[in-house]
Amino acid sequence: MKITNCFKRMLIAHIFTALFLTPVIIGLTGAEAKDSTLIIGIENSISKLDPLTMKDPYTFRVGWQIFEGLVGLDENGNTIPKLAERWEVSEDHKEWTFFLRKDVFFQTSDIFDNPRKTRKVTGEDVLMSLTGYCSSRAYPAFMLLDSIKGAREYNQGKADRVEGLQIIDPYTVKIVLRESEPFFLDRINSPWFGIFPKEMIQAPNPSWGETVVVGTGPYKLVKKTDNIAILNRNKEYWRKGFPKIDKIVFRVIRNDQLRFLELRKGNINFMLIPKSLLPEVVDSNGAIRETYKDDFNAELFSSFNSHFIGINLSKVTDKHLRKAISLAINRQEIVDQVLRKLGKVNIGTIPLNMQGFPNSEKRYYQTDIFNMAMAREELKKSSYNGKEIELLVHDKEGSQEIGEIVQFYLKRIGVAIKLVKLDYNSLLEKMLKGDTELFNFFADYVFSSPEPLLSNMFTSSKIPIPNVWAFDNKTIDKEINSLRHIANREVSFQRSLSIQKQILDAVPAAFLFQQRNLILYDSDFRNLKVNGYFHYMLDEIEKKTK
């Protein structure tokens, strides 16, 4: 066969094109073949991933990537739509209608017996999920029992469905509340109320939570053991283009120092820095040390937390003594030295970063927070006889140190404190029984506005939990109830602050500070967002391509 000139030219052209295109093709497929993985180090093993019974923070971390609720909270404190694309509220703030997105599919699983192994999320799933959260075996039930009509009756077994949860049409769900609640969304925007398939209630599966975990979130569970949880990107996630990371691995490394070593070696990419490692990572001004600046991003996040020395009002009845105790504690010094300035003194318990907090929070209460002279005066006015008061501390980070510091401060004004260290659960039990005098504890609030906070922590019907200080004041009860009728966020917040001031006059606790948490993660990643519930919103995090 004769090879013509024309053919030769074509051949050369083809070879050149191929040589030119090959690196491009290889580059493309290479980029696709390389998965981006985020490895997070956590400090204790992950228990059952059942949204109804999840209790501990480590399980939450994993579970909240898999499940989502009707609405969520963004990093600035705004409620954002999730499974519900919009909502309407009646005039009296008692009826909330949620219009669901029509394009959300559950993560693929064998529990759906159709060839695609998935199905759309409908109103019935939302109804079954929310009903499940009102049932007696659900841990977060206490959040809804006060609000949703008929929830309490269902919870106690007196009714077989929740009257206030109604389906209007396949993509519309209506929630009727017992009383008016202008900020109902701030109760349910917590990731605690993830929506799961109705099959979980109707045809319960014994592996639910262990191998069968089906939600609607950005990541789906691939494997879970005691030490590891592997989550893959949910390719059918309703938010197009997200998530950007292909795989998340949660590794359990219990020892803080070893976990930090793994971070520095690069075996894990992401870690929350516990108090004991703060001296290593930050200097005494709260700035990151030079050694870590290059390889890691260090970001501070404030969750809705409150650390306090709680006072059992039924045992420590002398108001002047309580005032003396509160005035003798130098909170700023604790924040500076123990937290290395990673925290803010808060004389009350309403978190300072809740939306609506007035900007001039510097001295929003014109009272002294720390004043030794006044403390001594109050002590003189009281009938304190020198008897030792018991201060209970627990074993989680920092509690013992704070207890020792408070004991020292109170000794300076002449109040004798006896420290007793218990483990976390025993302390909780004692608080439940009301068998405490002073106790060092903290609260991680799961609502993003002050009314549920005040009504849970300070109304007399909530003694002994969550009203752990046995605060009993009928006038305050009425005032907290009146918050339900204020629809304007700023006015409501101001009113909440003034109610808090009245509560603080009785000194139910010496509120210390709100802590800021430090997360150290590999500088290859960016766009980490964390909201006030300390939920890592990992659908937007991405890895820089080299």
Partner 1 sequence: MRPNRHITNGILFLAVLFAFTFLTPMLSSQNPLDIQLKQNFQNPSVEHPFGTDELGRDVFTRVLYGFSTTIRVSILALCASFVIGITLGSIAGFFYGSLIDMTFNWHVSLIFCLPFLLLMASIMSILTPNIVNAYIVLACVMWVGPARIARAEVIRTRMLEHVLASRAMGNPEWRILFRDIMPATLESSFIFALSYFPEIIGLEAGLSFLGLGVQPPDPGLGKMIFDGLNYIYSAWWLAFCPAMVLFVIILLTNLFIGYRGKRAYGF
Partner 2 sequence: MRFIHTFIYYLSLQIGIMLFTFVLFHIIPTDPARIILGPYADETQVESARKELGLDKPLLVQFADYLYGVSRFDFGKSYTDNRPVYQEVCAKFKLSLFLVFLSLLFVLLYCFVVIAGDRRINSLLKLLNFFFVSMPTFFSGTIIAVLVFLYYPFTAFSGELESMYDYLYMVPPAFVLALYPMAILARILSQQIESISESPYIKYVRVNGLSEWQIRFRHILKNAMIPFLAAFSNQLPMLFTGAFIVEIIFSIPAIGSLLVTSILQKDFPMLQGIVIVNGVFFILINFVFEILYPLIDPRINSANASK
x/- string (CB under 8 A) for partner 2, residues 445-464?
--------------------
Instruction: Tell me how many degrees the CA angle 408-412-415 measures, rounded to the nearest 5.
Output: 85
Region 238-277 residues binding partner 1, contact defined as CB under 8 A: 256-257, 260, 276-277
The amino acid at residue 359 is: N
Question: Which does residue 225 touch among partner 1, partner 2, none (CB within 5 to 8 A, set by kind)?
Answer: partner 2
Question: Which does residue 35 touch among partner 2, partner 1, none (CB within 5 to 8 A, set by kind)?
Answer: none
Structure-block tokens of residue 488: 């304007």
- Contact between 291 and partner 2 by CB under 8 A: the answer reads no
Among 393, 410, 483, 507, binds partner 1 (CB under 8 A): 393
CA distance 134 to 156: 10
Among 155, 269, 302, 305, binds partner 2 (CB under 8 A): 155
Q: Where are the alpha helices (DSSP H) in 34-56?
A: none
C-alpha 169, offset from chain centre: 32
Question: Which does residue 524 touch among partner 1, partner 2, none (CB within 5 to 8 A, set by kind)?
Answer: none
How many amino acids of this chain bind partner 1 (CB under 8 A)? Answer: 27
- Contact between 492 and partner 2 by CB under 8 A: the answer reads no
- Contact between 488 and partner 1 by CB under 8 A: the answer reads no
Least Cβ distance, residue 273 to partner 2 (angstroms): 17
Structure-block tokens of residue 239: 């938010």
Closer to partner 2 by CB, 212 or 374: give it. 212
- Contact between 142 and partner 2 by CB under 8 A: the answer reads yes
- Contact between 26 and partner 2 by CB under 8 A: the answer reads no
Closer to partner 2 by CB, 91 or 226: give it. 226
Angle between helices 474-482 and 489-505 (to 10 degrees): 170
Closer to partner 1 by CB, 264 or 529: give it. 264
Question: Which does residue 338 touch among partner 2, partner 1, none (CB within 5 to 8 A, set by kind)?
Answer: partner 1
State how beta strands 417-421 and 509-522 pair.
Answer: unpaired
**Residue 86 class from Cβ within 10 Å (0-12 exposed, 13-18 middle, 19+ buried)?**
exposed
- Contact between 280 and partner 1 by CB under 8 A: the answer reads yes
C-alpha 131, offset from chain centre: 22
The amino acid at residue 443 is: A
CA distance 496 to 490: 10
CA distance 111 to 340: 50
- Contact between 420 and partner 2 by CB under 8 A: the answer reads no
Least Cβ distance, residue 254 to partner 2 (angstroms): 5
- Contact between 428 and partner 1 by CB under 8 A: the answer reads no
Q: Which helix (H) or strand (E) holds 290?
A: helix 290-293
Query: Does residue 96 contact residue 184 with C-beta atoms inside 8 Å?
Result: yes
- Contact between 361 and partner 1 by CB under 8 A: the answer reads no
CA distance 269 to 288: 17
State how beta strands 37-42 and 270-272 pair.
Answer: parallel
Q: Which sign does the torsion angle of CA 482, 485, 486, 489 carry?
A: positive
Among 179, 368, 388, 423, binds partner 1 (CB under 8 A): 423
Q: Which of left, alpha, beta for 536 (phi over 0: left; psi -120 to 50: alpha)?
A: beta
x/- string (CB under 8 A) for partner 1, residues 316-355?
-----------------xx-xxx-----------------
Query: Does residue 402 contact residue 337 with C-beta atoms inside 8 Å?
Result: no
Q: Which residues make Cβ contacts (< 8 Å) with residue 223, sequence separation at least 6?
A: 229, 230
x/- string (CB under 8 A) for partner 2, residues 188-227?
-------------------------------------xxx
- Contact between 266 and partner 2 by CB under 8 A: the answer reads no
- Contact between 465 and partner 2 by CB under 8 A: the answer reads yes
Write the DSSP assignment of 208-221 as a string of letters: BTTTB---SSSEEE
Residues engaged in binding partner 1 (CB under 8 A)? 256-257, 260, 276-277, 279-280, 333-334, 336-338, 393, 395, 400-401, 403-405, 407-408, 419-423, 426
Residues engaged in binding partner 2 (CB under 8 A)? 45, 47-48, 53, 55, 136-137, 139, 141-142, 155-157, 225-228, 251-255, 257-258, 261-262, 265, 267, 423-425, 428-429, 431-432, 465-466
